[in-house]
Chains A and B, each alone.
Chain A
Amino acid sequence: MTTETQHGSVIVMDRRRGKLRAGQGLLQGLRVVWDHWAGSFRKNDNFSKIHGTFTVEYPEERLPMPQAYRNMPVLLFDDESGHELCTGCYQCQRICPPQVIHITQAKDPVTGKMVPAATEFIIEYDACMSCGFCAEVCPFDSIKMDHVYELSTANRASLTMRKAQLNRSISYYTGIAPGLWAEVQAGAMKKLQGSIKRRPDVIGLAASLTEKIKARRLELAAAAAAAPAAAAVSAPAAPAAPAAKLTPEEKAAKLAAMKAANANKGAAPAPAEAPVALSPADAKAAKLAAIKAANANKGAAPAPAEAPVALSPADAKAAKLAAIKAANAAKQAEAAPVSVETAVATAPLDAKAARLAAIKAANAAKLAAEQGNNE
């Protein structure tokens, strides 16, 4: 029962006062308890009532979390581009009172310069005190406080969260705190566009991808399994499959594969030109290495492509992974032939180093091929 007062609506309880005869008070006490008992068979959803069960049966029912509820920090990435908002600016690492944030700044492999992205981002959840300073200080709105509170585990080491485990999509964050994201969205996305422009290659891409991308990958793997012959022709299986819209990672892999192919192509003519200026023995060795590297690349490529032929979609995923690994290996190999090319062109003394590099590349490629076969 509510009553309007000067200060607003007030809940008034009926105390059933009045003149009591002998034993009547005891009966009234029983009546109160009875009312509660009888009322408890339905749920109390309105807290101005005093009867009904208040219990929220926790694992099955949960109270909705307030938007600003904070538990543990997570890293956001953009759903569209797959790019992380984090630039590795170290602001959070600096402010963290228990010092549980550890960041490694990304570097451009070619130029060696800093890139606005983090290659590794570790938060030790076991020591985190959920103060939310990191989220408050983050200038790129990359670090946000999650609402997940069921983190109990028997394994303490599992609470050291790496970047892949910390990644959450922006759509996830808008799901738990739409109002808070709406406030910062414009600025955050603008800053992200700036960061993306300065990120070469796959740097800054979220390692764990959204459901959408996973689904796309499965689809692609299924397509690859359906057309093994077509996949076997071209080197990396995944990019060769008919892909209407490629994910950033796949795009990067395709690019790497193409680069590797170009490098192979480039490396092959180079030794042919080499004999003109160099000693025949060294030139021969360099040529051999280049051919080996090319073979290895070729060998690596068909292996994952053939794998999915007889396998279930789950295995197809593994084969897909192998194909990506092979492509990465090819990318590594790419660096070597390039150096061979430059070495051949410049000085004969460097030719030996070039040969070594070529052999290393070949080994790496072989290793990748083996891995591909094993997986």
Chain B
Amino acid sequence: MQDVVNQVINTSFGWGWPSWAIALIGYLIVAALLFGIAPFQMLFLTLYERRAIARMQDRIGPNRVGPEGMFQPLADGVKIFTKEDIVPTAADQWVHFIAPCVVVAPTMFMFAVLPWGPGMVPVDMNLGLLFFFAISSVSAVGLMMAGWASSNKFALVGAMRAVAQMVSYEIPAVLSLLAIVLVTGSLSIVELINYQGGLFISTRDVASVPDWGLGWFIFSPVGFLAFIAFFIAALAEGERTPFDIPEADSEIVAGYMTEYSGMKFGLFYLAQYVLNFLLCAITSIIFFGGWQGPGVGWLYAQAITPVNPQGGWVFNVLAGVLGVFYFLTKTYGFFFVMVWIRGAYARLRIDQLMDFGWKFLIPLTLVNIFSAAIWVGLTKWGAADGLAFVEGWSPLVRWAAAFGVTLALNLGAYLFLARIFAQSQDERARQDDDVLEQLTNVA
């Protein structure tokens, strides 16, 4: 964007503005665009979710406002804007007021490092992934503020659950990403996507593989297990069913949102859906190559880039359009999976949630990090690093060996942990029954 602004202002008009002004204008334009896009993502996703879940329940869903219910979110938005804003007298006014902003702001920050297409990233931060997840946990503070300031027991319980859940599931999410970061050797999200060129095998692992933009991490055992763990953790982060315990309406009304009405409630909703969009987006970026797909890499190679200033601008547009198309297709696909899971599973109990996170996901992701280390050793290391025996192997053989070893390790770990976990759950259920029996006998 800054290149374009620089081109227009300093080359076309010849005004000779300083580079900081160019940068400021460039970032302002990008920020304005993103602030426009984020709420529209939320509007679209609400409609998308309602339509999809309706289909899963043999219904049709909202299809009255506009063609196929297209303007239903706008109608909802108008409704929520015109609602009365009620602040409980017992509430801590200022904290109650600021909490929605604290929840929404981090989700907006997260767009800063999100690449939409080749070369289309607001800020290519070399700590992108860390930034993304660090910022995402800030919203937990907002949730706690909302729950506490409402001075309502449901809100407080909801906020407690939300924070407990978010903190617990940050760990498996970050641990599963750690495996990927081990493989790529970088925390930059752009670098992460670039790594995923190839055809089922990344070109960085085996250079001879044709680059079809399909060298996604999901095709490696390490990536697959990380994906499963990460997606489950993402469901919990985004407070999606079956982990929507913080706002379990049958138990605690609406959780931390109980005392919110009107647009403040709308802001929580916005934050939630934008967060869900971002989680789907980051899942598609990390494990499914983001904008990577057949054709994008080739198109981008012909485009005007710092590497290739002689390219044609048409290829910039084409690569951008195709890349954004791939990226959004994957993202909405993951959102569909979220809706699908919501349609299929019942809500967990808080203790089941904690058990699952701490006793199953975290050990699994730890094993996965071990697998990632093996993967890196087998595919990248050599005699200099102390792995002399792989020196003579061709890259494909090294890749195959890494694949085999990590697959066996991950599969074994999964089956073993699943068995232990199921046994522990059974044992727990049996103990609960015993306690119940004792209690009934006493009574």
Contacts and interface: CB of A to CB of B under 8 A. Distances in A.
Interface of A: 22-23, 26, 29-30, 32-34, 36-37, 39-41, 44, 51-55, 57
Contact of A29 (B55, B344, B415): B344
Given A36-B57, A52-B58, A54-B58, A22 B414 contact: yes
B98 interface: no
A33 B58 contact: no
A40 B414 contact: no
- The list of the 9 closest CB pairs from A to B, nearest first, reads A22-B418, A40-B55, A33-B344, A29-B344, A33-B343, A37-B56, A55-B60, A37-B55, A33-B56
Interface in B38-56: 52, 54-56
Nearest to B343: A33
B422 interface: yes
Chain A CB count within 10 A is highest, among B55, B63, B340, for B55
Given A22-B415, A22-B419, A29-B345, A34 B58 contact: no
Given A23-B418, A30-B340, A37-B340, A51 B345 contact: no
B344 A32 contact: yes
Give the size range of B's interface with the partner: 10 to 19
Interface in B262-277: none
Contacts of B83: none
Nearest to A51: B58
26 contacts: A22-B415, A22-B419, A23-B418, A26-B344, A29-B344, A29-B345, A30-B340, A30-B341, A33-B343, A33-B344, A36-B57, A37-B52, A37-B55, A37-B56, A37-B340, A37-B343, A39-B58, A40-B54, A40-B55, A40-B58, A40-B59, A44-B58, A52-B58, A54-B59, A55-B60, A57-B63
Contacts of B341: 30
A36 B56 contact: yes
A237 B55 CA distance: 64
A58 B422 CA distance: 48
B145 to A, nearest CB: 35
Nearest to B417: A22
Contacts of B54: 40
A307 to B, nearest CB: 48
Nearest to A56: B60
Given A22-B419, A33-B340, A36-B55, 12 more contacts: A22-B415, A22-B422, A26-B345, A29-B344, A33-B343, A36-B56, A37-B343, A40-B54, A40-B58, A40-B59, A52-B58, A54-B58
A303 B418 CA distance: 98
A33 B418 CA distance: 24
Given A29-B344, A30-B341, A36 B418 contact: no
Interface in B334-350: 340-341, 343-345
A53 B345 contact: no
Chain B CB count within 10 A is highest, among A30, A40, A41, for A40
Contacts of A54: 58-59
A54 B58 CA distance: 6
A52 B60 CA distance: 10
A33 B53 CA distance: 10
A32 B54 CA distance: 14
A165 B422 CA distance: 71
A41 B54 CA distance: 11
Interface string B181-207: 000000000000000000000000000
A6 B414 CA distance: 48
Contacts of A40: 54-56, 58-59
Contacts of A39: 58
Contacts of B415: 22
Interface in B373-403: none
A190 B299 CA distance: 88
A39 B63 CA distance: 18
Contact of B59 (A26, A32, A55): A55
Contacts of B344: 26, 29-30, 32-33
A53 B419 contact: no
A37 B337 CA distance: 12
Interface string B335-371: 0000011011100000000000000000000000000
B435 to A, nearest CB: 26
Contacts of B63: 57
B56 A53 contact: no
A26 B422 CA distance: 13
Contacts of A22: 414-415, 418-419, 422
Interface string B76-108: 000000000000000000000000000000000
A52 B58 CA distance: 6
A58 to B, nearest CB: 10
Nearest to B341: A30
B282 to A, nearest CB: 22
Contacts of A36: 55-58, 343
A368 B391 CA distance: 118
Contacts of A41: 55
A290 B35 CA distance: 90
A41 B63 CA distance: 14
A54 B60 CA distance: 9
Chain A CB count within 10 A is highest, among B58, B418, B419, for B58
A46 to B, nearest CB: 13
A23 B345 CA distance: 13
A32 B56 CA distance: 9
A255 to B, nearest CB: 56
A32 B422 CA distance: 23
Contacts of A29: 344-345
Contacts of B57: 36
Contacts of B345: 26, 29
Contacts of B414: 22
